[in-house]
Amino acid sequence: KSEDEVVWITYVLRDGTKKKIRGKVGDNVMYLAHRYDIELEGACEASLACSTCHVYVDDAFANKLDEPKEEEEDMLDQAPALRPNSRLGCQIILRKDLDGMTVTLPQMTRNFYVDGHKPQPH
């Protein structure tokens, strides 16, 4: 693949380790993580029906992303530890201008935070 298509993304794992991944234009941040065994969940397979792919996007890049659509906002509202730079990983599609972006996995998600109280799908 051509160098123009390369988009480097750093994932900060839950234990603080950084993993720099060579992605490409068009990659989905959630699926890209899966390809490299990064423990970013994606319970609903990118259908905007969960919030387990929640990530924090570093500020330098948060503004470059398209505004979240309403469905994304609704799902984010249900994610624990929400921050202003919270996004759903499965809604971030890599572009060349996102080269160098860092995304951080939150310390908890709905799935392993609410032990025994797994939220029901709507």
**Min. distance of Cβ 32 from ligand FES in angstroms?**
13
- Point out which residues pair with 7 in neighbouring strands: 23
CA 61/CA 82 separation, integer angstroms: 17
Q: How far is the CB of 49 from ligand FES (least distance, A)?
A: 6
Provide the binding-site residues for ligand FES, judged by CB under 6 A: 30, 42-44, 46, 48-50, 52-53, 75, 88, 90
Residue nearest to ligand FES (CB): 90
Q: Residue 72 Cβ, how far from ligand FES at the closest point, in Å?
A: 8
